[in-house]
Structure 1
Amino acid sequence: MSEELTWLPAWRIRELIGKREVSCVEVTEHFLGRIEEFNPTLRAFEQVDRAGAREQARRADRAVAAGEALGPLHGIPTSVKSHIRVEGLRYVQPGTDVVSSFDDICVERLRRAGAIIIGTNTMMGAGADLTLARDRPGVFSPFNWDAEALSPWDTTRVPGWSSSGGAATAAARLLPVTIGSDGGGSTRLPAAYSGVVGLHTSRGLIPHVNYDKPTMLLTASYGPLARYVRDAALFTRAMSGGDGRDYVCLQDDTPDPVDALDRGVEGMSMAWTEDFGFAATYATADSARIIDVARAAAHSLVTLGATVDPTAEVWEDRAERGTVRWTVEPSVYEVMVGTNSAPLPALDPLLYREQAESRARNWERFQRLFRRYDVILSVTAQRIAAPVEEWERAWTVDGPTFPGGSFAPVYCSHTMIFNWLGFPAVTVPCGFVDGLPVGLQIAAWHGREDLVLRVAEAFQQAFPRDEHPAVS
C-alpha cells in the first residue's frame, strides 16, 4: 500500500484512512520519505517539520481509533508557501526571520479539516538577498540557486516564479496538495510550468489576517496546487468562507466548488481568446506552438457537449506603459490598516483615476462576456519552463532593486488580468511542447469557482494526463 500512496488522489487517501485501510502515520511517513529522497534535488521546501508532522499524524490516528467525526482532509499531509504563517515554524522573508506565533486563516482551516501541516515550500526569489549573478559581473540576481526550487521535469529548468516550491512538490508528488498564493499568476503559472492544477481564487473567498503587518489582500489570493482537480476543489472548500478578521473577505457563501464537479460541461457556453487582445506583444518564437496545444484542448470540450466560440474582444494591457502600471497603482497588492503607514508613497491622483477607469472598462467587458458565456478559456502561459540561465537573465536588473519590472508583464501576460479584477481562474495540464507541460486556463465571474473547477474536472476526466516527471 505504501508505494501506491504516491500517485493516489488525496480524496482517495482520505477514504482509505476513514476505512482504516491505511493509517495517518503511514501516510505521513510515506510522504516524509519522498521529501527526504527528492527534496535535495528539487529544493522545494523551506522547512520540513518532521517531529510536528509525526505528532499530528499520531493525534489523527487516535481520533480515528476513538470513532470521532473526521474532517474532509483528515490525515492528508500538506504544505504552504513560505510567506504563509504557520504557528511554531520560522517565517522567513527578506528582512524577516521569526518564529510565527499564529496560523494564517487558511492554515487554521486546513487544520480544522484534519490536514497535517508538514512544512513550508520555497518561494523563488525570497532567499537570494540580491547576490551577484553567476555569469554577469556587477549585475545583481534575485535568485540563490543553492536554494531555489527546480523543475521535476528537467532540473536544469525552473518550475516558475513565486509558488515554485509548492508546484515542484505537487508535480513530483512529494505531497498530494500544497498551498500557494497568486498575485499575478503565482499559483497558476508555476502550476502550468510544472504540469499540475493551480487555482487563483476570487478576491476575498479565502480570508487573510496578519497580526504583525495588518493588510488587506486586494489582488492576491491563496489557492491549492495539486495533480487532481477534485483535490484542489476539496482544499478550496476547506479554506473558503467569511471571517470577521478580514475586512474585505466575502460575506456570503458562494456555490460549493465540490458539488458541481460531476455535472460535466454539456450545454455550457465557453469563449476562447488567443491573447485577450494584447498578450501577443509578449510572445516568443515558441508561443504559437504552445497556444496551439491549449487551443486544441479548449476545443476538445466540444466533444463533451459544450460550445466553444472564439472572441475578438480586446482588453487593456495593464503594463502598456512599461513598468509604470505595475509600480504606481496605489497599494493594489496590500492596503495597510490600523495606524500603519501606507506601504507605497502618495501618487498622482490623475494617474490613479486613469488606472481606476481602465479597470472599470475591463470589468465591464468581462461583465458583458459572462452574460453570454459561462467561462473564458486561454493558454495559461505562452512560454514553457525556462532554463535556469535564461530565467536569471530575464529577471536580473542592474543594481540592488527588486527585479521583474520589465519581465513581469511578459511572465504574467495571460494571468494578471484576473488578479486585477478579482475573478477566479484555474490552470489544468493539457499537453506538452518539447517535453514540457502546457496549461489550459479557465476563468469565470467572481465567486464562480464552481464553474472553473467543473470545467477543469470534466477536461481532466475526459483527457487525463498520466505522465510523471523525471524526478518523482
Structure 2
Amino acid sequence: MSLALPFQTAKQLAAAVRKKKIGCLELLDLYLKRVEAYNPELNAIIATDIEGARKRAKAADRAVKAGKKLGPLHGVPMTIKESFDVAGLPTTWGDPAFKDTVATQNSLVTQRMMDAGVTLFGKTNVPLNLADWQSYNEVYGSTNNPWDLGRTPGGSSGGSGAALAAGLTGIEAGSDIGASIRNPAHYCGVWGHKPSWGVVSPKGHALAGAVAYGDIGVVGPLARGAEDLEIALTAMAGPDAIDGRGWTLTLPRSKKTKLRDFKVAVLLTDPNAEVDDSVQEQISKLASFLAKNKVKVSDKARPEIDTVELNDVYIRLLRAATSGRMSDAVYEQAVKDAASLPADDMSYFAQMQRGNALSHRAWLGLNEKRHRMRLAWDAFFQDYDLMLCPVAVTAAFPHDQAGLRHKRTIVVNNKQVPVVDQIFWAGYSGVTWMPSTAAPIGQSKEGLPIGVQIIGRQYGDYECIQFAKLLEKEYRGFVPPPAYS
C-alpha cells in the first residue's frame, strides 16, 4: 500500500517533481503546513528560513520548467541537525553560550545536499553538546517522540528522527559518535546510516572557532527508506577541498541482489549491556525469517575480540575525542577523579573521567588496541558479510532529564540499569570506524519502534545499505506513527 505524500521517500518525492506531478513550492508548502500543525507538540524543528526556502523552491520549479538537468533530490524539502552550519541560521549545539552565533556559510554536508537539489528549510533539535540519547537543551527546549510524546525521540539527532517519522521533512542529516544517528532511527522507526569514519567530511559540523576533525565521530543521513540513505550518502561522501587534492573516494557498490546472497552473524545481547527481551525477540524473528529465506545465519560467529576490552577502549577514546570541548575547570576535575578512582572501578563514570584526562601516551596504547580490533573484524568479514545486533537495549524510554546522565537509569528486563550501559552498542562498530545502518524491523508490546543495527566491514557502507534495502522490500517498510498519519 502506498504511503501518503508526506511519508513517501525522498526518491519518490523527487520523482514526483521530475514528472511534474507536484511543484517544488507546492511540496515545500505541504510540509510547512504539517510543521505548523504538528511541530508545536513535537518541538523537532527549532529554526527555519521560510523566505529563503521559498525562493529556492521557486528557482527549483523554474529549473524543472526549463528542462534543466536536475539533481537526484531536486525539490525535496529537507531539514538538518542543528549542529551543522547553515548560512543565516544559528549553530549552538544547545549551548546558551552560543545562542547568538549565526553561521555565515554552509557546512560541506549542507552544501552537497543543496547541490543534490534539496530545498533546505530548517534545523532540528539536539541535546546540549550532542551528548545524550534525549534531545533537550536550554536554548530550544525538549523534543518529543511522535510515537509517544512522553518518550525521547533519541539523540543526539533526535529532532531529525522525530521530524522524519512525523512527516515534517523529506530527508535529514545527522552526526554519530555514540549512536547519535542510529539511536533516533531506532527510537522513531526510520532509517539511519553511520558511515565508515572519514567517508563524509564533517567540515562545518562544529561550534564557532573549531575546525579540526575528531576521532570516531561521523556525519551521515537519516531517511524514511533505505534507498534514500544510498542517494544521500553518495551526495555527501568524499573529501573536503584540501584532502581532495590528493585522493578521491571510491566506495565499493554491493553486488548482491537478494537476501540469500548474504552471510550474516547475529548477536542478541552482551554482558556489557544486557538487551531487553522485547528487542531480542524482534531480532530473533528477523533471524528466523532470514534463515527461512536461505540466508546463511549464524548465532555463534563473532570477531575474536574481548568485548569488555572493546567497551573500555571505546569509552576512553570517545571521551578523549570530546574532551576538547571541556572547560579548564571541568578538565581539572576529571584529572582529579581519574587519579583518585580505584583501578578496578570500571563504571561508566570512572572510564569517562579517565578518557577525559587521558595522556597522549595512554591514547597511543588504546589506539594500538583499537587497530588490533580492526584486524579481528577484518578477519571476521572474510567469512561473513554482516553482523546484525541491537542499536540500543530497549525501545524509546520515557523522558528523564533530572540530574547527571550517568546517574540515570532505564528498565531492562524488569531491572533498573544505568542508561549509559547501552553505549556499548554504539561502540561495537564505532570504535573501529566501521559502517552500520539502523533499520526498523518491528515494534514493542507498547507499539514503539524497534530497529536492528547492520554492521559491515570498513568501507562496506553500500553493502550495509543494500541489505537494509532488501529488508525494507521483503520484511518491513516504513510505518508512520498513527497520530501523524
TM-score in terms of structure 1 length? 0.84
| Cα distance per residue 1:390-413 (max 9 Å; x no partner) | x64672769xxxxxxx95742322
Deviation of residue 345 (structure 1)?
A: 8.1
Checking the alignment, whether the CA contact within 8 Å between 1:143 and 1:392 is kept in structure 2 is no
Per the TM alignment, residue 110 of structure 1 is displaced from its structure 2 partner at its CA by 0.6
2:329 alignment counterpart: none
- Is 1:281 aligned with 2:272? yes
Match of 1:137 in 2: none
SS at match of 1:414: helix
Where does structure 2 lack aligned partners over 5 or more consecutive residues?
326-354, 409-416
| 1:213 corresponds to | 210
Structure 1: distance between partners of 2:322 and 2:406: 24
Structure 1 residues 349 and 213, CA gap change in structure 2 (3 angstroms): closer
- Aligned residue number for residue 430 of structure 2: 419
Q: Which residue of 1 aligns with 2:442?
A: 431
Match of 2:102 among 81, 99, 102: 99
- Correspondence 1:400-411 to 2 at 5 A: 409-411=420-422
Deviations 1:250-285 (A, max 9, x none): 74311247xx6x81222221111223xxx433326x
Q: Taking structure 1 as reference, are residues 394 and 429 closer, same or farther at Cα in structure 2, changes over 3 Å only? A: farther
Work out whether residues 202 and 422 of structure 1, in 8 Å CA contact, stay in contact via their aligned partners in 2.
yes
CA distance in 2, matches of 1:436, 1:87: 36
2:157 maps to which residue? 163
Q: Secondary structure at the match of 2:52?
A: helix
User: 1:187 aligns to what?
Assistant: 181
Which residue matches 1:124? 127
Asked if 1:395 is matched to 2:405, the reply is yes
TM-superposition CA deviations, 1:23-49 (whole Å, max 9, x none): 001110000111111110000012021
Task: Specify the alignment match of 1:361 in structure 2.
Answer: 372
The match for 2:251 among 249, 254, 257 is: 254
**Corresponding position: 1:147 with 2:141:** yes
SS of residue in 1 equivalent to 2:114: helix
Per-residue deviation at 1:242?
Answer: 2.5
* C-alpha distance 99-320 of structure 1, shift in aligned 2 (>3 A): closer
How far is the alpha carbon of 1:308 from its aligned partner?
A: 1.0
Amino acid at match of 2:387: I
Give the deviation of 1:67 after TM superposition: 1.1
**TM-aligned CA distance change 1:251 to 1:466, over 3 Å:** closer
Q: Name the residue aligned to 1:109.
A: 112
1-side partners of 2:395 and 2:457: how far apart?
27
Counterpart CA distance in 1 for 2:202 and 2:318 is: 23
Going from structure 1 to structure 2, the CA distance change for 1:312 and 1:108 (only over 3 Å counts) comes to closer
Map 1:35-74 → 2, pairs under 5 A: 35-74=35-74
Query: Residue 34 of structure 1 aligns with which residue?
Result: 34
Q: How far is the alpha carbon of 1:146 from its aligned partner?
A: 7.1
The residue number in structure 2 matching 1:175 is 169
Q: Secondary structure of the equivalent of 1:372? A: coil
**What amino acid is the match of 2:212?**
T
Give matches, 1:314-353, under 5 Å: 314-317=305-308, 325=316, 329=320, 331=321, 347-353=358-364
Question: SS of 1:458's equivalent?
Answer: helix
1:386, distance to aligned residue in structure 2 (A): 0.9
Amino acid at match of 1:28: L
Distance (Å, rounded) in 2 between the aligned partners of 1:410 and 1:8: 35
- For 1:212, the aligned partner's letter is G
Q: Within 1, Cα distance between the matches of 2:387 and 2:157?
A: 24
CA displacement, residues 205-240 of structure 1 (integer Å, 9 cap, x when unaligned)? 111224832111331111111111111211111111
Report the Cα offset of residue 300 of structure 1.
Answer: 1.7
Are residues 449 and 328 of structure 1, via their aligned partners in 2, closer, same or farther at CA, if it must alter by over 3 Å? Answer: closer
Task: Give the Cα–Cα distance (whole angstroms) in 2 for the partners of residues 118 and 318 of structure 1.
Answer: 44
Alpha carbons of structure 1 residues 127 and 71: separation in structure 2 relative to 1, 3 Å: closer
- Which protein is richer in helix relative to its size? 2
Counting aligned pairs with the same residue, the percent is 25
* Normalised TM-score (structure 2): 0.82
Please identify, of 266-275 and 371-380, the stretch whose mean Cα deviation from structure 2 is larger.
Answer: 266-275
Distance 2:448 2:142 in 1: 19
Per-residue Cα deviation, 1:412-463 (whole angstroms, up to 9, x for no partner): 2212232211111001001111211111110111111111011111111111
Deviation at 1:297, TM superposition (A): 1.2
Q: 1:308 to 1:65 in 2, by over 3 A?
A: same
1:328 deviation in Å? Answer: 5.5
Aligned to 1:135: none
Tell me if the contact between 1:24 and 1:60 (Cα under 8 Å) persists in the aligned partners.
yes
- Residue 227 (structure 1) aligned to one of 224, 227, 245: 224
Q: 1:322 and 1:419 mapped to 2: Cα distance?
A: 11
Measured against aligned partners, the alpha-carbon deviations of 1:75-123 in whole angstroms (never above 9, x if no partner) come to: 0011111010111212223222312111111111111111111111000
Cα distance in 2 for partners of 1:409, 1:123 equals 18
Q: Distance in 2 between matches of 1:328 and 1:224?
A: 24
CA shift for structure 1 position 288: 2.3
In the alignment, which of 437, 442, 464 is matched to residue 452 of structure 1? Answer: 464
The Cα RMSD (Å) is: 3.0
C-alpha spacing 1:37/1:293, structure 2 compared with 1 (3 Å): same
Letter in 2 for 1:108: Q
* 1:250–1:394 Cα change, 3 Å: farther
